Amino acid sequence: TVGAIGYGSYEIYSKRHPLEQQPFDPKKRTVIVLGSGWGAVSFLKSINTDDYNVMVVSPRNYFLFTPLLPSCTVGTIELRSIMEPIRFITRHKSRNVKFYESECTDIDPESKTISISDVSDIKGAVSNTTIPYDYLVVAVGAENQTFGMAGVREYACFLKEIWDAQNIRTRLMDCVESAGFASQAPEEVDRLLHMVVVGGGPTGVEYAAELHDFLKDDLETWYPELADKFRITLVEALPSVLPMFSSQLIQYTEKTFKQNKIEVLTKTMVKEVAEKEIKVMDANKNMISIPYGLLVWATGNCPRALTRKLMARIKNAQTSPRGLLVDDYMRVSGAPDMYAIGDCTFSKYAPTAQVATQQGLYLASVFESLARIEEGKSKKITPFEYSHQGSLAYIGSDKAIADLPFLNGNISVGGVATYVFWRSVYISNMFSFRNRFLVVGDWMKSKVFGRDVSR
Ligand code: FAD
Ligand code: NAD
């Protein structure tokens, strides 16, 4: 990891912030990286800029540590604590990497160019342009799956980006304050204080868990008159939540949720979303209406518009609607000199940060080998092999679950000790010492003073 690089030493500072970036060397090939998430950053940390001119294009000028995003929706952790400016990453060790805060709107694999568009509100004279590449690394992630259902984008909150966490936080506190408004009708109070989460994957489960902690630890103290009316419901279409975990941990999670009075509706599929209620179909095919105050939508991923556009351009080779097809070397099928990593691909692995990180690291090693081969030195390029390090999830009340590979099998553990392990794993995986310091500080702050209940 980049790890313990502190702020303070002038030498380190000047290396991280060279007065000006070196111009690109015309003798080197140019690699453009699309994205500043897990896959892109893992690649950028390892790519050798002595071999290539490297340029990054992303609408987000920071890296986001997504595993702790659910904690930000309730103020256990502050948003800035899990963000790292992309320029810290690109300039680290005097690396010569250019960054453009912009969205890639089109990729033309034939002319080997990308079109980019400035995303800032304040635009200069030029806000759209086309850039050529020698190699392209597509790491644009995925977007929220809505199945095209009307009402989801209008009324539900997602949980993927910084602004989603802010939005959830605002909506939650709006619901609570409106429920406490003078002469509010009892059925309206019940609706406003009903928080519904759709999707029992890890995102939905972790959000429900954080919300429970916030209600129990803080809202009940500050809003005692509303305390017994708060309700959380998790709706999942499959027979259980967290299907990727062992059955033992699924049962443990469902038992913990029951103790925490989180209602879990399995075999229940959301069919319609309106402003104040959702309609679901239960296991017996009955349609039931569920009024809600806050609706959080966490039903997984689907390809971004850019990915779909690229797939349409090379449709003979791209036959899956679920993401870019790549070979074992991360090469995009049907597009020369183009690679893809992370959630934008459709591969046999789950779309996780763990997979994206390993793919980014692997791809940097492929580029290293390509550079050596070009110099006439023989270098074997081996296919990508994923090494699963285990799955972890927070389930509330200071408990976490973990499925970990052990010898040739797997061990499943859950409880408070696993929560301590969960915290230590995430802290050690954070990008910088600064991030670690801030997150530990936030944990201590919320323990000592409670979470901030202001909007
Ligand atoms: P991302 O990290 O999403 O990055 C995509 C990047 O592309 C972003 O910088 C985005 O701004 C940029 N981009 C988007 N469109 C364009 C465009 N048109 N042009 C250029 N750039 C673009 N995984 C785990 O392994 N463990 C966990 O505990 C875990 N927890 C999670 C918790 C939450 C709440 C969520 C939402 C996900 C979690 N995941 C976890 C999954 C993990 O975050 C993703 O698998 C991971 O982010 C994928 O990395 P990526 O680089 O493919 O995409
Ligand atoms: P997911 O795909 O894992 O789960 C979505 C769930 O929504 C599924 O169980 C699906 O059956 C359900 N669903 C879909 N449509 C529905 C409907 N109409 N009504 C009711 N339920 C419906 O999605 P996610 O939880 O957003 O996770 C996305 C990816 O990120 C996954 O690969 C996951 O492993 C990863 N992730 C990992 C962690 C972690 O490791 N702790 C945390 C968050 C996300």
How would residue 101 be classed by pLDDT, with cut points 50, 70 and 90?
A: very high
- Identify whether the C-beta of residue 203 lies closer than 8 Å to the C-beta of residue 298: yes
Average pLDDT value for residue range 424-445: 94
Q: Is 205 exposed, middle or buried (0-12, 13-18, 19+ CB in 10 A)?
A: buried
pLDDT of residue 21: 56
- Mean pLDDT over each residue of the chain, to the nearest integer: 92
Average pLDDT, stretch 7-14?
Answer: 39
pLDDT band at 229 (very low <50, low <70, confident <90, very high): very high
Residues having CB within 6 Å of any atom of ligand 1: 34-40, 57-60, 66-67, 69-70, 103-104, 139-141, 159-160, 203, 304, 306, 342-344, 351-354, 356
For residue 380, the model assigns a pLDDT of 87
ipTM exceeding 0.90, yes/no = yes
Q: What separation in Å is there between the alpha carbon of 145 and the centre of ligand 2? A: 10
Classify domain 152-301+390-449 by CATH number: 3.50.50.100
CA of 218 to the centre of ligand 2 (A): 27
Cβ of 204 closer than 6 Å to ligand 2, yes or no, is yes
36-74 pLDDT, tens digit each: 999 999 999 999 999 999 999 999 999 999 999 999 999
Going by C-alpha positions, the residue among 401, 402, 405, 400 that lies closest to residue 389 is 405
**Structural domain boundaries of the chain?**
10-142+303-374, 152-301+390-449
pLDDT at 122: 84
DSSP type of residue 50: T
pLDDT-derived band of residue 89, with 50, 70 and 90 as boundaries? confident
Closest approach atom of ligand 1 to CA 356:
49
Arithmetic mean of pLDDT, 156-185: 96
Architecture in CATH for domain 10-142+303-374: 3-Layer(bba) Sandwich (3.50)
pLDDT confidence of residue 94:
58
Is residue 7's pLDDT more than 60?
no
Q: pLDDT tier at 93 (50, 70, 90 boundaries)? A: low
Ligand 1 center from residue 142 Cα (angstroms): 7
Q: What confidence tier does 22 reach under pLDDT thresholds 50, 70, 90?
A: low
Contact present, 284 and 277 (Cβ < 8 Å): no
Residue 296 has pLDDT above 50, yes or no: yes
User: Could you identify the residue written with the tokens 């000047």?
Assistant: 14
